[in-house]
């Protein structure tokens, strides 16, 4: 049937859909490729041939057939119907060719063949777009400059750039719209020339933000727009009046795609501008350093960072630190992760953890269907490696593998590495994970830093996970690093990749000398124990808490693109992944400060405390534990701990034969028992049974001889002289435990897959995959349990045969429950088959020593992580200063007027980082110092050139509540004609209204004149006060207080939330200001925001010491500010009236239920403490007849930052004898300025 024009009209199956079955397994070629003669087939073929000849004899001539065919089938111009490859057309599908022998197919015209490669028209279209995009960058920036931070203007009915008023407008309807006029007015064309439709740039910007959080949704957006317009009565029709079913999908797809390319072009231009500023700053610093080197100044012997924090004690096994060389990474790496690559010195030894930690892994879910086709190249990816670079690495690997392997001593025995290689699919590059018949791109290989930020991608176009992808990524990384930088690379099969590089010399020697491999933390437990001793990041020195599992978290973020990219074009697939990776990387870069805080709290401090508790419980000295750990590694990495592969294979054969003999023995004994129970047994039966027993004994003798011929004592001379049955059982238990460990780890991974959605960590499995996993677990669990029971039987047998003089430790049985088995530390330990020379090592026999060793290793990793976090925090602080300096310099550089608004936006975003990135490792004072230095450096390099644009302060307009004539208004001294603000005389607005008197009017009734407005404009001149700590002196009822510069900055900012320091210190300022006018404040006891939480956790003496300065027992009104998560509220307790007056600027009711209980408990407890401490005090507190009344029932606050200011305003009104304040939300900036000036008046 012909292909329909819309997807809605395409054929589909109703109900549950079509039933698909997996393809059957290929049969044996020896059976399917043999020619089979079917009886009667020759006769059928002959009859059909005769019938076909009769039909040809009765058919018309070929000329008549040609005429009939031309008449029945109209001509098709395929080039005209297919106007190029469209990126939004992701639902194209292949039609099956019509069967020539089927007469029903002849009634339909032939279906055009699906095109999977771009044609000339598509190439011309994309070339036109790429030529257009750079020309509209200035117009787009002009539109952004006019609309950023302002309400969107209404779309004009007439698009014109003429600004003259004396000309006569003339309107002419034309079909052509110029792209420059569209972009100037905020519209983006859907075609590079003569567009018939334009899309709002603001809608495209919103879709871009939605894409960063979700994924590509062109079809959903176009359908939603169409339905929205149809419901509003607008239908899109063509020039014939026919309704268009999908009018937006293709056009909107083009607009979204090329608008993003426009943003990429803007980003490139902005980055080039900033890079020019960075180069100027770097050149300036180099010239300064050169001048200082001529006259060097004495430098301190200890770096500033080391002086700020005490150096941890060095362990005896630690090597002296390597000398660091001053260098810098490439700018692309610094911008992607300044914490990892923002350092200026490199050369930290690999044994100390190196300079940089990265991880790599592959994913075969991000495939691309071959039938989806391709489009012309329109985007240069920033994260993907070129295919030529990856293929060149693959060619080098093939060439090097043809050479003989190098000789060298491996860190891990080859037997252990062979077992790891056979256990992991990632180590087998020939294993086909994806069908190449259906997919041309089979997956992705990612390289990330230790903060999970993506660095580079490689597109996998082979069936398996070959080593060329990971090595190409690492080679690209080293090409961008200084020659002295050392790297730790974590990979699932890092042990196998490390051996390959060592044997064949795939990478240059200078790279191999600066790189060290490790396995990821989660996958490490699937490796052999000897491999873990060298490659497990939790067991080796220097890696801290780096786990290498960030690639799994990255795949979880990109999971939403899997279904879409499979049916997109190849170029669009790369574009989608690359832009999504850029959005993820940018978001995670701004979150680096929070990442360091979380790692420091949850990773370092919590785990270190837990490990310290284990060390205290084990009761073994740390030095002894370190010696035991060194002895354990030396013993378990020795070649004697691993049987040769030949011996293991032959021993497995003997063990299998022994199992068969045991089965035969049980069968003979069962038959003998059954025969003996019979009353009459023939002599032949007895003779046959005796023959079987003798044959079984001869077979046992031969098996023993075969076992002796294996020369186990030659391979293990330490076992010579031991009981043969004991040795045999010991080796059986050894191999069985290895098998149990592999089965158990596989089962752990399967259970983790089922539980991955617990706590919202990842998405849940689908029903089908969940059922398959549960079925696989149920199928494998009996074999695992049977193996564990058999191993426990061996343990019991060995315990009976054990002789303490052999100095071989007794095996511990394994638990039969999966949860207990997961937490059992002996599961990962191999069976010890070598006698000790003197006595059994404590690490093998003492459980406390084993627990202590793990705790020591955990504390070592936490200490290493703390050191690395300190370096990373220092890198972030340094990058902040250099980046801010580049932005400040770019703003002052002539010629950057076009990007001034974007540069200002960058500066504002950078200035929000100090509160987020400051921590105990780097204080906010260092960020503030970098801020000042950046501004000073930019001014010096720009030679005093002012910024390109200015920010004007928006005036604050305050309306008087009553009609007051301006000539009769008596102003306070601080509002004189000069308009300058006096920091000592500014008062609150409600206090100002009460203080303003009116002059006498000659009988004129109030309100007869037009009420004027008092316009209180903030001066344009901003006073710069020194950033110093303000001290609030101790007064009656209040303790001494301090206000740091960052606290004062919160009051100065009109949109900042104030903290507890501001709130607790501003109340005494209001108290002292109002106390001079009235004696009402003498009735109030003012508590701090810490007193109510203190009553929950502190005892009575501590609570008394914290509150006795208020003299609350002499007051009848208590002011109690309360902090909720993200919000400030207030309670006024009137003890004489037994009333609680509650103020909440958001007028919420439900949170007060818990607060009221805490308040009443607080009041009762304080009264009891005062009565017991001061016998003369007469305080009676009764919970009966108390009432709680809200002061406001309607929200008076609409923003999210003025709640603390509202509390202070209510306190001011309360101190003056009122219940509520007369201020409104528009008055909050003025009241905040009053509080700020009061603080600045302090010494």
Q: What is the mean pLDDT of residues 1159-1187?
A: 77
In the structure encoding, which two tokens stand for residue 1206, read together?
């509202």
In tens, the pLDDT along 1118-1147 reads 888 998 888 889 999 888 888 888 999 888
Structure confidence at residue 247 (pLDDT): 84
Taking only the tens place, the pLDDT of each residue in 351-406 is: 889 999 999 999 888 888 888 888 888 889 999 999 999 999 999 999 988 888 88
pLDDT band at 296 (very low <50, low <70, confident <90, very high): very low
Contacts of 486 (CB under 8 A, 6+ apart): 346, 347, 348, 349, 350, 354, 355, 356, 514, 515, 516
What is the pLDDT at residue 901?
84
Q: For residue 579, what are its two tokens?
A: 């832009």
| pLDDT tens per residue, range 141-156 | 777 776 766 666 665 6
Average pLDDT over residues 175-190: 67
The structural domains of the chain, with segments of one domain joined by +, span 120-147+175-269, 331-340+353-372+381-589, 591-641+841-951, 642-673+690-840, 1030-1240
What is the C-alpha to C-alpha distance for residues 388 and 1062, in angstroms, rounded to an integer?
Answer: 61
Who wins on pLDDT, 12 or 449? 449
Ramachandran quadrant class, 382 (left: phi over 0; alpha: psi -120 to 50; beta: rest): alpha
- Lowest mean pLDDT, pick from 681-685, 857-861, 950-954: 950-954
- Computed over every residue of the chain, the mean pLDDT equals 75
Phi-psi region of 347 (alpha: psi -120 to 50; beta: other; left: phi over 0): left
pLDDT of residue 170: 65
Q: What pLDDT does 990 receive?
A: 39
Per-residue model confidence as pLDDT tens digits over 761-809: 555 556 666 666 666 666 667 777 777 887 888 888 877 777 776 767 7
1061-1093 residue pLDDT tens: 888 888 888 888 776 555 555 678 888 888 888
CA distance 1052 to 593: 25
Is the pLDDT at 1013 greater than 80, yes or no? no
pLDDT for the residue 43: 77
- Alpha helix (H) residue ranges in 376-454: 387-401, 414-423
pLDDT at 90: 34
Element (H, E) at 1044: none
Assign 3-class secondary structure to 928-983: HHHHHHHHHHHHHHCCCCCCCCCCCCCCCCCCCCCCCCHHHECCCCCCCCCCCCCC
Lowest mean pLDDT among 182-196, 738-752, 1167-1181: 738-752
Question: What confidence score (pLDDT) does residue 323 get?
Answer: 64
Q: What is the pLDDT of residue 875?
A: 93
Query: Which pLDDT band holds residue 17 (cuts at 50, 70, 90)?
Result: low
Measured distance CA(424)–CA(525) in Å, rounded = 12
The 10s digit of each residue's pLDDT in 899-946 is 888 898 899 999 999 999 998 898 899 999 999 999 989 888 887 655
The top-level CATH class assigned to 1030-1240 is: alpha beta
| Residues facing residue 448 across a β-bridge | 359, 454
- What's the pLDDT band for 459 if we cut at 50, 70, 90? very high
Is the pLDDT at 714 greater than 90? The verdict is no
In the block, which residue shows the tokens 């090097």?
Answer: 400
DSSP per-residue letters across 491-550: -TTHHHHHHHHHHH--S-HHHHTTEEEE--TTGGGGS-HHHHHHH-TTTSTT-TT--STH
Residue 319 has pLDDT above 70, yes or no: no
Who has greater pLDDT, 1230 or 414? 1230
pLDDT digits (tens, 9 = 90+) for 635-687: 777 655 555 544 555 555 665 666 667 777 777 777 777 777 776 767 777 77
Strands 1041-1043 and 1030-1032: antiparallel
What 3 state SS string does 1113-1144 have? HHCCEEEEEEEECCEEEEEEEECCCCEEEEEC
Phi, psi of 962 (to 5 degrees): -120, 160
Q: Binning pLDDT at 50, 70 and 90, where does residue 185 land?
A: confident
Residue 1130: what are its φ and ψ, rounded to 5°?
Answer: -145, 145
**Nearest residue to 354 via CA among 511, 502, 494:** 511
Q: Quick one: pLDDT at residue 887? A: 93
What mean pLDDT comes out for the span 494-500? Answer: 88
Q: Which residue has the higher pLDDT, 1239 or 590?
A: 590
The closest of 675, 674, 695 to 684, measured between CA atoms, is 675
The 10 Å Cβ neighbour count of residue 98 is 15
Exposure class string for 300-319: b at 16+ Cβ within 10 A, else e:
eeeeeeeeeeeeeeeeeeee
Q: Helix, strand, coil % (nearest 5) of the chain?
A: 55, 5, 40
Is the predicted pLDDT of residue 198 greater than 50, yes or no? yes
Q: Lowest-confidence range among 64-68, 533-537, 630-634?
A: 64-68
pLDDT score, position 587: 92
Which range in 48-57, 471-480, 702-711, 1208-1217 is most confidently predicted, on average pLDDT?
Answer: 471-480
């Amino acid at each position: 049937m012909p292909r329909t024009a819309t997807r809605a009209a395409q054929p589909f199956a109703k109900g549950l859909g079509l039933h698909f079955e997996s393809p059957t397994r290929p049969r044996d070629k020896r059976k399917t490729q043999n020619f089979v003669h079917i009886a009667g087939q020759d006769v059928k073929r002959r009859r059909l041939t005769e019938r076909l000849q009769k039909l040809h004899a009765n058919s018309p001539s070929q000329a008549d057939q040609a005429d009939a065919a031309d008449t029945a089938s109209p001509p098709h111009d395929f080039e005209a119907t297919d106007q190029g490859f469209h990126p939004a057309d992701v639902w194209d599908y292949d039609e099956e060719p019509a069967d020539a022998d089927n007469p029903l197919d002849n009634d339909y015209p032939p279906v055009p063949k699906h095109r999977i490669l771009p044609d000339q028209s598509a190439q011309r279209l994309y070339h036109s777009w790429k030529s257009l995009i750079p020309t509209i960058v200035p117009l787009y920036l002009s539109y952004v400059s006019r609309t950023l931070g302002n309400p969107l203007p209404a779309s004009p009915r007439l698009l014109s750039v003429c600004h003259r008023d004396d000309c006569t407008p003339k309107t002419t309807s034309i079909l052509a719209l110029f792209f420059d006029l569209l972009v100037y007015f905020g519209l983006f064309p859907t075609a590079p020339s003569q567009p018939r439709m334009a899309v709002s740039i603001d809608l495209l910007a919103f879709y871009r933000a939605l894409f960063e959080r979700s994924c590509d949704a062109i079809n959903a957006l176009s359908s939603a727009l169409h339905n929205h317009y149809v419901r509003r009565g607008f239908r899109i029709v063509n020039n014939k009046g026919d309704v268009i079913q999908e009018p937006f999908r293709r056009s909107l797809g083009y607009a979204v795609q090329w608008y993003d390319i426009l943003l990429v072009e803007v980003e490139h231009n902005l980055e080039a501008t900033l890079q020019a500023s960075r180069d100027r700053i770097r050149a300036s610093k180099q010239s300064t350093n050169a001048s200082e080197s001529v006259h060097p100044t004495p430098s301190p012997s200890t770096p500033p960072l080391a002086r700020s924090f005490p150096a941890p004690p060095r362990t005896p096994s630690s090597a002296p630190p390597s000398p660091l060389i001053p260098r810098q990474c490439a700018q692309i790496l610094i911008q992607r992760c300044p914490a990892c690559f923002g350092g200026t010195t490199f050369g930290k030894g690999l044994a100390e953890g190196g300079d940089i930690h990265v991880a790599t892994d592959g994913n075969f879910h991000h495939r691309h269907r071959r039938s989806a086709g391709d489009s012309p190249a329109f985007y240069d990816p920033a994260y993907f490696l070129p295919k030529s670079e990856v293929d060149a690495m693959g060619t080098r690997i093939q060439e090097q593998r043809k050479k003989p392997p190098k000789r060298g001593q491996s860190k891990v025995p080859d037997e252990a590495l062979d077992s790891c290689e056979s256990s992991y699919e990632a180590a087998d590059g020939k294993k086909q994970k994806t069908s190449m018949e259906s997919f041309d791109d089979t997956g992705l290989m990612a390289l990330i830093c230790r903060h999970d930020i993506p660095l580079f991608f490689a597109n996998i176009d082979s069936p398996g996970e070959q080593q060329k992808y990971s090595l190409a990524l690492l080679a690209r990384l080293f090409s961008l690093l200084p020659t002295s930088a050392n790297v730790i690379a974590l990979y699932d099969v890092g042990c196998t990749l490390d051996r390959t590089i060592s044997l064949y010399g795939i990478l240059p020697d200078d790279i191999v000398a600066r790189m060290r491999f490790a396995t990821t933390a989660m996958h490490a437990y699937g490796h052999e124990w000897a491999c873990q001793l060298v490659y497990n990041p939790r067991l080796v020195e220097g890696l801290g808490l780096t786990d290498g599992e960030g690639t799994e978290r990255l795949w979880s973020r990109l999971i939403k693109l899997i279904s879409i990219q499979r049916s997109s074009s190849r170029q669009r697939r790369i574009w989608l992944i690359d832009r999504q990776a850029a959005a993820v990387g940018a978001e995670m870069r701004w979150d680096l400060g929070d990442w360091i805080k979380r790692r420091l709290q949850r990773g370092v401090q919590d785990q270190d405390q837990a490990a310290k508790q284990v060390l205290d419980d084990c009761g073994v000295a740390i030095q002894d534990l370190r010696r035991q750990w060194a002895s354990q590694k030396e013993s378990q990495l020795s070649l004697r701990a691993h049987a040769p592969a030949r011996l293991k294979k032959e021993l497995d054969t003997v063990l299998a034969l022994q199992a068969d003999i045991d089965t035969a023995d049980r069968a003979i004994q069962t038959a003998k028992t059954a025969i003996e129970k019979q009353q009459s047994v023939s002599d032949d039966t007895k003779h046959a049974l005796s023959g079987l027993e003798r044959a079984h004994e001869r077979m046992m003798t031969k098996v023993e001889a075969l076992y002796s011929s294996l020369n186990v004592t030659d391979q293990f001379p330490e076992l010579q002289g031991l009981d043969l049955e004991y040795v045999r059982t010991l080796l059986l238990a050894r191999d069985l435990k290895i098998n149990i460990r592999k089965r158990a780890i596989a089962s752990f991974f399967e259970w983790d897959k089922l539980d991955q959605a617990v706590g919202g960590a990842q998405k849940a499995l689908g029903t089908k995959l969940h059922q398959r996993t549960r079925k696989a677990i149920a199928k494998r669990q009996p074999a695992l349990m049977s193996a564990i029971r058999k191993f426990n039987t061996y343990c019991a047998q060995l315990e009976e045969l054990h002789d303490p003089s052999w100095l071989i430790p007794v095996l511990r049985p394994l638990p039969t429950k999966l949860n207990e088995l997961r937490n059992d530390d002996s599961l990962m330990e191999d069976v010890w088959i070598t006698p000790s020379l003197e006595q059994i090592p404590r690490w093998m026999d003492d459980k406390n020593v084993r627990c202590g060793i793990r705790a020591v290793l955990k504390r070592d990793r936490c200490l290493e992580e703390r050191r690395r976090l300190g370096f990373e925090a220092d890198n972030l602080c340094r990058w902040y200063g250099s980046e801010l300096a580049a932005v400040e310099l770019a703003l002052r550089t002539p010629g950057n007027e076009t990007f001034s608004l974007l540069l200002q936006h960058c500066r504002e975003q950078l200035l929000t980082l100090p509160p987020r990135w400051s921590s105990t490792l780097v204080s906010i004072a260092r960020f503030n110092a970098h801020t000042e230095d950046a501004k000073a450096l930019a001014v010096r390099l720009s030679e005093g050139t002012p910024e390109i644009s200015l920010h004007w302060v928006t005036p604050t307009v305050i309306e008087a509540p009553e009609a007051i004539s301006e000539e009769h208004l008596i102003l306070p001294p601080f509002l004189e004609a000069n308009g300058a603000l006096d920091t000592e005389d500014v008062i609150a607005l409600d206090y100002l209204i009460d203080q303003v008197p009116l002059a006498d009017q000659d009988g004129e009734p109030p309100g007869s004149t037009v009420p004027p407005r008092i316009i209180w404009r903030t001066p344009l001149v901003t006073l710069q006060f020194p950033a110093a700590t303000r001290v609030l002196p101790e007064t009656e009822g209040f303790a001494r207080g301090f206000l740091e510069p960052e606290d004062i900055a919160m009051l100065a900012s009109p949109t900042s939330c104030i903290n507890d320091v501001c709130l607790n210190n501003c109340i005494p300022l209001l108290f002292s200001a109002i106390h001079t006018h009235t004696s009402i404040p003498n009735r109030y006891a003012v508590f701090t925001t810490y007193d109510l939480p203190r009553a929950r956790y502190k005892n009575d003496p501590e609570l008394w010491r914290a509150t006795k300065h208020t003299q609350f027992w002499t007051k009848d009104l208590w002011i109690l500010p309360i902090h909720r998560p993200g919000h400030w509220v207030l309670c006024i307790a009137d003890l004489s009236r037994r009333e609680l007056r509650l103020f909440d600027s958001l007028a919420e009711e439900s949170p007060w239920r818990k607060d009221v209980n805490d308040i009443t408990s607080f009041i009762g407890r304080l009264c009891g403490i005062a009565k017991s401490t001061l016998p003369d005090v007469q305080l009676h507190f009764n919970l009966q007849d108390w009432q709680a009344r809200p002061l406001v029932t309607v929200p008076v606050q609409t923003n999210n930052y003025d709640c603390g200011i509202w509390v202070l305003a209510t306190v001011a009104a309360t101190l003056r004898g009122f219940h509520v304040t007369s201020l409104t939300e528009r008055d909050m900036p003025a009241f905040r300025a009053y509080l700020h000036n009061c603080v600045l008046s302090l010494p």
